[in-house]
């Protein structure tokens, strides 16, 4: 179960962005304005933030949209730091 959850967290947003790009390539292309290298790096390292950005992009980022993007950033931070918290008891001398 843990491996399945880890797989969903790792591939979930990346797969979502890929499907979104396949279904609406003009929309995703407009959101990132031909910055393919930055888009690729963002897709690899901060996928939840990119997915949230794509959700709020159509109307521009105003007001409550910033909260949604911050939630994406927090999801990215949690996906990278969650392994430490779960395995902290395996480190000798660390309580």
Q: Which residues of 53-70 are buried (b: 16+ CB within 10 A; e: fewer)?
A: bbebeeeeeeeebeeebe
DSSP state for residue 11 in the 8-state scheme: H
All residues at 6 or more sequence positions from 48 whose CB lies less than 8 Å from its CB, including other chains: 13, 72, 73, 75, 76, 79
Q: Domain locations in the chain?
A: 2-90
Rounded Cα distance between 19 and 86, Å, is 31
Rg (CA), the chain: 16
Do 31 and 57 contact (CB within 8 A), yes or no? yes
Along the 95 residues of the chain, how does pLDDT read in single tens digits? 466 666 666 678 888 888 888 888 888 888 888 788 888 898 889 999 998 898 898 878 888 999 999 999 998 888 887 666 666 677 676 65
């Amino acid at each position: 179960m843990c491996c399945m959850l880890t797989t969903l967290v790792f591939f979930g947003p990346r797969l979502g962005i890929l499907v979104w790009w396949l279904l609406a390539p003009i929309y995703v292309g407009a959101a990132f304005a031909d910055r393919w290298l930055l888009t690729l790096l963002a897709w690899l390292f901060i996928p939840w933030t990119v997915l949230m950005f794509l959700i709020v992009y159509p109307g521009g980022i105003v007001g409550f949209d910033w909260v949604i993007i911050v939630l994406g950033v927090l999801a990215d931070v949690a996906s990278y730091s969650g392994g430490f918290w779960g395995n902290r008891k395996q480190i000798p001398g660390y309580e």
